[in-house]
Structure 1
Amino acid sequence: MSSDNQRAQFQVVTGNESPAIYHQFSPALETATLLFQMAPGLLVPYEFGGVEYEIDGYRKSAWIGTTLMISPIYDVVGPDAVKFLNSICVNDFTNLTTKGLRHAVICNDQGQVLTDGVVIRIGEDRYRTYWLNPPIDYFLKTSGMNVAGEDLSGTEYFIQIAGERSLEILEDAFASDLHDIKFATHRKASMDGKEVEIIRLGMSGNLAYEIHGPMAEFDEVYRKIWNSGQKFGARKLGMHAYNLFNHTEAGFPNIHLHYPLPWFESGEDMAKYMLANPQYSMYNLNRKLVGSVGEELQARFVTPYDVGWGFLVKFNHEFRGRKALEEIANDPPRTAVTLEWNGDDVGAVFATQFKPGEEACESIGAESEGMFTSNTFRGEMAYRSNRVLYNGKDIGISSGRIVSYHYNSMISLGFIDPAYAKEGNELTLIWGTPGTRQMNIRVKVARYPYNGDFVRNENKDVEEIPRHK
């Protein structure tokens, strides 16, 4: 682009024939790469100024992103709404108010995570869920309860803002005081007559919010928030930076990114349901397993205890997978940690690609593997998991490696035996898919979350932040 006065646009078209939305970005960030993903007809930005530039925005100011526009949105409605949600989720929804939310987790009979997401109560018998479809639709249709499901994907926009100055930016955009919104709560607010829902939640680890509203109003709301963000030095965030780079650094293991989901291994009826829908069947038909774990699927599936969510499991009600999780809770075989990779060993693997006559190892560059990164363009859903050993003994797996630019390191998440999860422990990671050259990489158990050098959202006292006047 030749001038700072130029503007480039791309089109976001929802899958339910809503009006086209144009999303504008600053030419100072060069061009944005577009990525088609999940929601039919929906284009979202893949990158603006590159991962290293974008991801660092939350530290001193904020980043503003729209990646969650791809989220499945599914309302559970009816007299048995709470009864139904309690029957399929490890969480208890009995006392959920219209201001609260739940990080909901659905498991299969083996206690393995089928999906996880957010549930908010928006009416007397209406609960809005994000990321719980398609398993929630399958279970609802076979529940026999007095409850209905409504797929509203593509009708609602998501704007995420995360960072130390995110509240100041929002208050500037809304011209109102939003200090009362506590962590994991939500309420309505108004912007120029447009009603929006603001949720205090995010994936950077520090102060963060989500803004939701009707898709037709997205453009005006987004532009106003971005204009306010520019006053405080905010940066735009694309899908590439949002996914692995937030979830790995901030210690939030994520579906499809750090582990696959057992949709096709949880009973014949569920498998048939998934395969009958092309949007879901792609997760099985194009599933490619890479990394030293090889073709072993069961080792890649996780339980809430493997990924650090044991505190979400409430045994005060009956739910799918309860029996298995009760046994696991007594002695969890794995827990989540950050693994910090030895730089010399990473360099040695990388160097094999430049030695003629020598078999090269698989690429270990900055481009992280995962469904939202380079693998998408190859028409496959590649899940990379590597074996983690202690003195030759398999103790778990590693996934979601990234270059942590701010800390000048390569890291991943590990789901390992709790006996070896002490910070500072030195372990070995096996790099290379079976059938290719494999090499050992020394890894060290590091702080979890890795970017824990600021106050977490749940602990942030926003009274320290100036109020809008």
Structure 2
Amino acid sequence: MTATNLEQKIHQAGGDVVGMLRNAPMGNFAFPYRPEYTNWRDEQEAWATTAVLFDQSTHMTDVYFKGPDVKRLFSETGINNFANFGRDKAKQFVGVDEDGRFVGDGILFGLDDDEYSLVGTGVAGNWVAYRAHTGGYDVEVTFDLASVINPDPRRIFRFQIQGPHALKVVEKACDARLPEIKFFNMGSFTIAGTPIRALNHTMVGQPGSDHTGLEMIGPLQAGPAVWAALVEAGREFGLAQGGGLAYPTTALETGWIPFPVPAIYSGEAMAGYRQHLGADTLEANYALAGSQVLPRIDDYYVTPWDIGYGRLIHFDHEFIGRDALRELAGQPHARKVWLRWHPDDCAVVLADSLFKRPGQGRTKYLTQPFTDYAVSQNDTVWAGDRPAGRSTYSAYTVNIGTFASIGIIDEEFARDGVELTLVWGEPDGGTAKPGVERHVQAEIRATVSTVPLTTG
């Protein structure tokens, strides 16, 4: 019998969630738009030196929540503080399970005091929607799915402009004066006669740097006119249009880990949610990849501290997982770091994947610029002969000047300049994923940085 939900898929896999996900046929997350406008190297460089414009209208899922209980719903589901949240506010929403383990995150937009939009991969949106339906909240939920799984047109366009000259471009394209918008707040203006709402946030670099960014939304049908106005205004400032190859590499530079394994695949408390999630959802096809093979799916779960979200935890309200997080607060945690891969080792891996040499097995190809070959990449990291954590979300950017990844590293090794070794490629020749060629594993040296990587 064909499985209709995640719980049935796990049952059909004999309860072997790790094996099911490691052999899931899905590749990495889809970015279904033009791969390049010029070339991905120049498009990457633009967000560091001039400005880049990305069309985010297709790949993310938007979930709308409207009703008198909307703030209570998110306050009781998320680790964040919602005391002052409402219209024209935004935040990085994070949800955890009853044991304090990460379930999902996304950007939460306060469209109005009683209407929020949660935007991202869809994992957090699914979780909060389930809580809305089962928790007795007076909230209406509407899904606007990513284009690859959406039979209908999207409701809005979503454009991101990023870089030192980003605001200059928008100011020139604006029909009137561009309002000052505080970081992680929203403001309104018009371009080409179209009403725009924009969030001030950065996709690369860190807040307060010159990597300014605005995420702009408006009615879908007006998208082409607004895009054209921004492109025309940007000619003077060296604006580049960014494609689907460069786009996912922005997360490496800013340090956002899009796909930690959500803590939903085990435990009786999540059984109802697994039955709720359809067999065609991302969670039911959450392909795992990499050299790190752990015995239980629980071993892949992370806490907010492990991925840099400890600062978002507020114990001033009741929420799912609050008591567990209180108990975990004083315990050791892994730390999110950046891992700069050694260029010479990368060159050897690339050569051995492309050029067959006598007696030399083929290594797993380092795809450029985005290196991950499944939804959630997890590679083992060693400090000498001691396990040190995992490498996740890897890519190459010209701004870093080599391949790099985000690491979830044990605290004793999470120090600037520490040299670690990651194992690249899967054991036993690779899994059954169609995108994984038969290969041998290789070692790549990687240097720890506790701050974002740049060539400077």
Pick aligned residue for 1:51 from 37, 40, 43: 40
User: Alignment partner for residue 216 of structure 1, among 214, 221, 224?
Assistant: 221
Equivalent position SS for 2:229: helix
Cα distance in structure 2, aligned partners of 1:288 and 1:145: 33
Q: Structure 2 residue aligned with 1:361, among 360, 363, 381?
A: 363
- Cα shift at 1:365: 4.8
5 Å matches for 1:438-453?
438-451=441-454
Q: Is the 8 A contact 2:32 2:244 kept in 1?
A: no
Report the CA distance between 1:175 and its aligned residue.
3.5
- Equivalent position SS for 1:149: strand
2:399 corresponds to 1:410? no
Would the aligned equivalents of 1:160 and 1:202 in 2 still touch at CA under 8 Å? Answer: no
- Contact 1:395–1:417 under 8 Å retained in 2: yes
TM-score scaled by structure 2?
A: 0.81
Distance 1:126 1:195 in 2: 18
> Partners in 1 of 2:334 and 2:49 — Cα distance?
35
CA contact (8 A) 1:403 1:409 kept: yes
One-letter code aligned to 2:107: V
Q: How does 1:28-427 map to 2 (within 5 A)?
A: 43-131=32-120, 132-153=124-145, 154-178=154-178, 180-205=180-205, 206-243=211-248, 245-255=249-259, 259-265=260-266, 267-275=270-278, 278=280, 280=281, 282-285=282-285, 287-294=286-293, 296=295, 297-353=297-353, 354-370=356-372, 375=373, 381-427=374-420
CA deviations over 1:72-129 (Å, ceiling 9, x no partner) = 2222222211111111111121211423211111122232322211222222322222
Letter in 2 for 1:275: G
Distance (Å, rounded) in 2 between the aligned partners of 1:409 and 1:36 = 21
Cα pair distance change 1:263/1:239, threshold 3 Å: farther
1:272: how far off? 1.6
The CA deviation at 1:295 is 5.2
Q: Structure 1 counterpart of 2:262, which letter?
A: L
| Segment drifting more, 85-94 vs 170-179 | 170-179
Distance 1:351 1:425 in 2: 26
Say whether the 8 Å CA contact 2:64–2:141 is kept in structure 1: yes
Q: CA deviation at 1:58?
A: 1.4
Which residue of 1 is the match for residue 208 of structure 2? none
CA distance in 2 between partners of 1:425 and 1:307 (Å) = 19
Moved more, 336-345 or 43-52: 43-52
Residues 1:253 and 1:384: Cα distance change in structure 2 (over 3 Å): closer
1:196-246 CA-partner distances (Å, limit 9, x unpaired):
101111312210001101112111111111111122110011122111x11
Which structure 2 residue ranges, 5 or more long, are not aligned? 1-26, 146-153, 206-210, 430-439
**Structure 1 CA distance, aligned partners of 2:28 and 2:299?**
30
Distance in structure 2 (CA, Å) of the matches to 1:118 and 1:407? 26
1:265/1:66 CA distance change after superposition, 3 Å: farther
Q: Check 1:411–1:211 CA distance in 2 against 1; reply closer, same or farther (3 A cut).
A: same
Moved more, 198-207 or 173-182: 173-182
Whether the 8 Å contact between 2:192 and 2:225 is mirrored in structure 1 is no
Q: What is the rounded CA distance, in whole Å, between the counterparts of 1:421 and 1:443 in structure 2? A: 12
Question: Does structure 2 conserve the Cα–Cα contact (< 8 Å) formed by 1:290 and 1:385?
Answer: yes
The code of the aligned residue for 2:223 comes to F
Range with bigger deviation, 351-360 or 198-207: 351-360
C-alpha separation in 2, matches of 1:262 and 1:48? 38
Gaps of 5+ in 1: 1-34, 376-380, 454-469
User: So what's the TM-score if we normalise by structure 1?
Assistant: 0.79
Q: Does the CA-based 8 Å contact 1:402-1:411 persist in structure 2?
A: yes
TM superposition shift of 1:170: 0.4
C-alpha separation in 2, matches of 1:289 and 1:359 = 23
Q: Quote the residue 1:462 is aligned against.
A: none
Distance 2:226 2:383 in 1: 52
| Amino acid across the alignment from 1:253 | I
CA contact (8 A) 2:179 2:189 kept: no
Task: Go from structure 1 to structure 2 and tell me whether the alpha carbon gap of 1:443 and 1:192 turns closer, same or farther (over 3 Å shift).
Answer: closer
Computed over aligned residues only, the root mean square deviation of the Cα atoms, in angstroms, reads 2.4
Q: Is the 8 A contact 1:264 1:274 kept in 2?
A: no
Map of 2:14 onto structure 1: none
CA distance in 2 between counterparts of 1:192 and 1:399 reads 41
Question: SS state of the match for residue 224, structure 2?
Answer: helix
The match for 2:432 is none
Task: For 2:293 and 2:400, locate their aligned partners in 1 and report how far apart those are by CA, in whole Å.
Answer: 30
Say if 1:123 and 1:368 are closer, same or farther in 2 by CA, change over 3 A.
Answer: closer
- Indicate if the aligned counterparts of 1:264 and 1:284 stay in contact, CA closer than 8 A: no
Identity %: 24
On the 8 A contact 1:369/1:384 being kept in 2, the answer is no
